Each structure stands twice: as C-alpha cells, then as structure tokens.
Amino acid sequence: MENLSLPCPFLNNVHLSEKTYYQIGGKARLFALPESVRHIGDLLCWNRIHQFPLALMGMGSNTLFSSEPFEGIVISFENMNRMFWISEHELFCEAGVENGAISEELLNKERGGGEWLYRLPGQIGSTVRMNARCFGGEIADVTSGIMTASISGALRWHRPDEVFLGYKNTSIMDRSEIVVAVVLSFSAVKKHDEIQDLMESFEKERFDKHHFDYPSCGSTFKNNYEVGQSSGRIFEALGFKGVREGGAQVSPYHANFIYNTGGATSSDVLRLAAKMKTVAATAIPAKLDLEVQCIGLHPKILLEACGVPFVPDRVDDEMGWAGMFWLPHAEEAKSTLHDHHPELLLYGPLTNYSDESLSFPGGLFVSVEQLLSLDDAVCDPEQPFLRWSTIAVDASVFARLPGAAIGDNGFTDELWQYSVSELFLGHGEAEKEYVEFEMTPDGGWVALKFSHRRKRANGFEIPVQEPWERHTTRFHDPNRFGMTFSYSLLEPFIVDRTLAMQCAASIGESRYGLFPWWKSPIGTPDFHQPDRYYRVQLG
C-alpha cells in the first residue's frame, strides 16, 4: 500500500472505535488532525489531487461510524480548539472546542446562558451543525456567526438566520461544508455560584438518568411534536427498554438511548433502531427520524429501514455510503468546485491578532472573490480576476487617514503609518515570493513585492505605482473599499490551481486584525508570515 503524507498532522490505520464517544467504528486508513484553519485548506487542496473519500469527526458523540474499514480520510477537529473573547460578550471558538470547556469558560467569566452545555458530550462545531439543544437551551439562541469551509476550501461567514432552520435542523447538515469556527454571544452577567449551581443540577440529572452508564449517542431519534409525546416516552410505552441486538441495548432507564454495552457494531445499533422506528410507525403511528448521524459504509437495507439517505457503493450492491463529507464517485459531488462566478473565496470578520487584547473592534469584514474561471482568465489575462473588499459597519474605526498626503492616483508610500486594510497573496511558503497590498477608505493604496519574508524583491525596493497600475483597479466609499487584480499579475503565484492569501488590518493604537485567524499568534504582531497564509482552490 502506498505510503502517503498529508499536509497536516495525521495518523495511519486508526481504529475509530478508540476515537469515538460511542466506541464504535472500523479502521480508517488516514486520520487527519489539523491544528489550524490553514491545515484545513491545505488538506482540501491536497485531496483535490488524490481524491480520497472524506469524513468528518467531532467527538463522535452524535455519530455512528461504520464498523467496516474506511479507505479514506477521517478529519478530526480535536486539535482545533482555540477559544478567545473578541468582545466583552462574544466568544470565538474553533470547531474542536468541547461544549463543557465553553460552559467552564463562561463560569469563570460569570456569563449566563451556557450552563446547559456542561457535560453535554461533543464539540461546538458538531453542536452547531445539528442545532443541538437540551435542558431548554438551544445553540441557535446563543450563536452570532458561523464560519464554514467548502470542499474547495472557500471560507465563508454565515449569519444565524442563514444556518438554523428550527428543531435540530440546519442548512449545512446536507451540504459539503465544514463548520470550522463559531462566534457565541453571552450578554447576561450572572453570579458565579448561580451558574455553578445550575451546571451541577444539569450534571446530576444526567447521572440520575444514567446517561453515562455506557457509551451512547444520546437521543437516537428526534422528537416528533405532532405526536404529542417524546420519542423516549413512545419507545417506553412500546416496551423497548432493555431490548438488545448484539452488543447494543436500549437503555433500561431512557428508551431513546441505545447503549454500547461492549463490542456493539454499527449494524447492531442500526438493526435495533430499525425495529424501533418500524414498530413506532405501525403501532402509534408515529414517524420518527434518526437524530444520530450515520457515517461510512453500511448495509443498504438497514439505512433504508432507518430512513437514512445514502449513495450506493460502486463495488458492493448491498452497501451504501452515508453521511460523507465528500465521495469521489458521488453524483452530488460532481464538479462542486466553483461552478459559477463570481465565486466567494473568503468572507469573514477580522478578529484580534492574538488573545491578549479585546482592543480590535467588531464590524470589520473582508472578502476575496474570484471574478472569472481560470480557463476564462487564461484566455483574457488582463481582465479583473480577483476582487478584494473591506466592509466597515462603522467607517470611523479607520481613524488615521492620509488625507492630503495621498499621492498621485492614490499611490502612497509609507501607508503603514495610517489605518489600513491589507491583503497578502503568494505561494504560502516562507521562502517564496509574495505581494502585499494596502488600502485606506479614502483611496490611498500601495503595493509591495517580496522575494521572501520581509525581503523586498529586486527592482521593488522603492514602491512605485507603474508595475501595478495596469493590473489593478480601486474602488472606495466610506463603508466599502478595495481593489481588483488581473490574472496576469497573480499568475506567478498560482500553483496547481491554488493561491495563498491573508487579510489583515492595522488601524492604530496597537490594534491589529486577521482573517483567516492564526493558531496561537504570539509576540509583536507581524503579518509577514507567508507560511501561515490560507491556501484556497481556484476553479
């Protein structure tokens, strides 16, 4: 078997039963452990060439991985766990932050509204993806923004109303998008003891209901509120408490939980769930949908019985693929990469450079759009190819403007002294060339080229506008400003249809912002770290 190396930390031949909360799952050929959003982009670019099936894993607390071997890549978020405050009440969390860690952070900050997350198994990315709820709390109620990555690596910010569709349902559950980060909002100030008492009461209720006696996925089925009673009550009335199928058993205490009492396989769980669903449909009748997410290769007869959508396997007619992030042969995945233009490659908020300060203001967004397909751009290389925009809800955050110091046609050397938005484009490697563009809301701009980190390229030691003028256009008003760039300008930096980019801002008074964010930036802010720039695929 070919030895492969992924562009992020990874393991070979991992037994998923040792990684999932349910302790069920076969052996995965490759187990990716990205530590940053940059790693996510690099992995998706790599897989565009190598074409492995992709599956996503949080803690596996609401997922049933197949017990069959998986000849693909499982992407785990356990090492994407950066959490930091971006304002007095907004908490930025990477996808791998555990729910319990969030509740404990809120306890330390004396912020109410997240007590119900305590001892809720899972990571925040999955919690948002399924719009989890319990004890009267729902993640939609405390979410102010969601960041996703598409199969092409495009990073996009979503408002809550674009994602949450109601009870345990979101718009991204059935799309090839990864939740990579979320912003949660907790405005209620609450006493430490009150928060702790509520957290402990929720924990006690979980223990009283025997949630932790054996591994499980929590509620196996969603509630159907048209029936007038919970799924657990329905299955209890139908006599399912304690019913077994192999190593899987319906909890004797909560009839909507299926335990792994030891050695249960994914098929054991699905056979038991199929019986429960079928009996409820005929005896009540009640249509109940699985809440647990099935992932991997399962018998089609069991997926059909449980109402789980799947893609037929190409080799074994009796098997089907469920819950995959991406399958090379799936009809749904056919050419999902940038099938129309303009295409949004990056869109999101600039956040604090580091965790050390809350000084960077909210309401500053940046975007990068691809205006033409690569094929069209090659045919007409002087047309605008990329458009970079900075959007300011409050334009006054750019307080230091060059004004009368703006040069001819706006080109202004030493623009770094003012409040500027910045864009870096390059190969994404420390010792290779890259370019930097800076711009102010009043139309000041400058362009710089570097042969490697902070080293001006030969012939570009002194900034002049002539090499850039015919390849760029500028636009500006008080709340939105930016530039476009031709393909011929960017072509030297495009490799294997990918381009590395980084948005940043320096607005004065030691306030620095980044998008995408970096893993644990420390020390004096320095945007000239091209090996951290985010690599995105171009279509």
How far apart (Å, rounded) are the C-alpha atoms in residues 274 and 288? 11
- The C-alpha R_g of the chain, in whole angstroms, comes to 25
Count of other CB atoms within 10 angstroms of residue 539:
19
C-alpha of 144 from chain center: 14
247 CB-near residues (< 8 Å, 6+ apart): 260, 261, 262, 263, 264, 265, 268
How far apart (Å, rounded) are the C-alpha atoms in residues 276 and 142? 33
228 CB-near residues (< 8 Å, 6+ apart): none
How far apart (Å, rounded) are the C-alpha atoms in residues 381 and 488? 5
Sign of torsion, CA 4 26 9 332?
positive
Instruction: Copy the structure tokens of residue 28.
Output: 């995965």
Instruction: Copy the structure tokens of residue 531.
Output: 């090996």
Instruction: Copy the structure tokens of residue 278.
Output: 């079928």
Q: Which of 333, 302, 307, 332 is nearest to 319 (CA)?
A: 302
Distance (Å) of CA 114 to CA 143, 262, 335: 11, 33, 40
377: left (phi over 0), alpha (psi -120 to 50) or beta: alpha
How far apart (Å, rounded) are the C-alpha atoms in residues 143 and 120? 17
Residues tagged active-site:
219, 291
Instruction: Copy the structure tokens of residue 49.
Output: 């060439």
Q: Are 534 and 500 in contact (CB under 8 A)?
A: yes
User: Side chain identity at 491, as an amino acid letter?
Assistant: E
- Does residue 268 sit in helix, strand or coil? helix
| Peptide linkage before 342 cis (omega within 30 of 0) | yes
CA atoms within 13 A on the CB side of 253: 13
CB-based contacts of 404-408 (< 8 A; 24+ apart in sequence): 405/444, 406/442, 406/443, 406/444, 407/444, 407/465, 408/465
- Does residue 309 sit in helix, strand or coil? coil
DSSP string, 476-515: EETTEEEEEEEHHHHGGG-BTTEEEEEEEEEEETTEEEEE
